[in-house]
Amino acid sequence: MLSVKKLTFSYNKSPVLNNISFQVKPGEHLAIIGESGSGKSTLLKVLYGEYDLDEGHVFWKDQEVLGPKFNLVVGYDFMKYVAQEFDLMPFISVEENIGKFLSNFYPEEKKARTAELLEVVELTAFAKTKVKILSGGQKQRVALARALAKQPEIMLLDEPFSHIDNFKKQSLRRNVFKYLKAKNISCVVATHDKEDVLGFADKMIVLNQQQIVENNTPEHLFKNPKTPLVASFFGEFNLINNTLVYAHQLKVVNHSELKATVKTSYFKGHFYLIEAELNGKPVLFEYDKALASSEVVCLSVVK
């Protein structure tokens, strides 16, 4: 398994990660979440051995992952990393990029493997297309497939679906995570998108101010958010009597002490998000219809 022990890292004295420890078991999926600039990408790069640590250790099984000072060629066969900025070979085709690191010694297997991965990332129709003319999202899918080509034991993915449009994103995400689970490949995903976490990640780490502030299952953290940071990751929320309450946990009832004056209704698909005022402070709740501005409604917390 991946063992991260008391890892501390800074870029030229400005600290980014401080005393980080966690583990990822074979086949387990871990999400790393945090605000922009919280160090998610840095953590993945450090796990990959791109930088030397100030302190601490990273192990995959018995092998220590070493930085450039001790390991001249960055990276190991058991681990693949898909960066936020992916570097592909622009002048060769999608299938050539995916198969680039596969041996030509077994042409039939290479062909089958490439075809399988093209299906996972839904690019079969683009097999012969030069990467140069692909969109950002399509390039991201090629980078994912290429990283999977040699069947790593662990994948490090940095915002892996961020460039992919909503039409493709949902099914692609399911394909990729299902594939990783089926092959028992461990996975560490840096993301700020709850859709990359819910339903897929076994565990979730929250980074804030250089440290891990939470390490638990997504379900536990969703149901028991202790800080606005965690709650805001999952959705709109309110602080009512010092308790974090998601917008969907505030219901309109016939009578209650909580009387809110409606300001704005936002159409959200299967519900409306209502912005209102409660005791002089803004409050957000969900309702199945739009409400008229200045209408007064009674609210109740239903958890």
Residues that bind Mg ion (CB under 5 A): 40-41
Taking residues 28 to 57 in sequence order and writing x for each that binds ligand ADP by CB under 6 A, - otherwise, the string is ------x-xxxxxxx---------------
Total residues in contact with ligand ADP, by rule CB under 6 A: 10
- Does residue 140 touch ligand ADP according to CB under 6 A? no
User: Phi/psi at 13 (nearest 5 deg)?
Assistant: 75, -10
Instruction: Say if CB 299 and CB 252 are below 8 A apart.
Output: yes
- The strand pair at 211-216 and 55-60 is best described as unpaired
Residue 36 interacting partner from Mg ion, ligand ADP, none (CB closer than 5 to 8 Å by kind):
ligand ADP
Taking residues 10 to 29 in sequence order and writing x for each that binds ligand ADP by CB under 6 A, - otherwise, the string is -x----x-------------
H/E run at residue 291: none
42's tokens: 């840095």
DSSP assignment of 92-157, as one string? SBHHHHHHTTS-TTSHHHHHHHHHHHHHHTT-GGGTTSBGGGS-HHHHHHHHHHHHHHT--SEEEE
Residue 16 interacting partner from ligand ADP, Mg ion, none (CB closer than 5 to 8 Å by kind):
ligand ADP
How many other C-beta atoms can be found within 10 angstroms of the C-beta atom of residue 110? 17
Residue 39 interacting partner from Mg ion, ligand ADP, none (CB closer than 5 to 8 Å by kind):
ligand ADP
Which lies closer to ligand ADP via its Cβ, residue 16 or residue 274? Answer: 16
Which lies closer to ligand ADP via its Cβ, residue 10 or residue 129? Answer: 10
Which residues contact ligand ADP (rule: CB under 6 A)? 11, 16, 34, 36-42
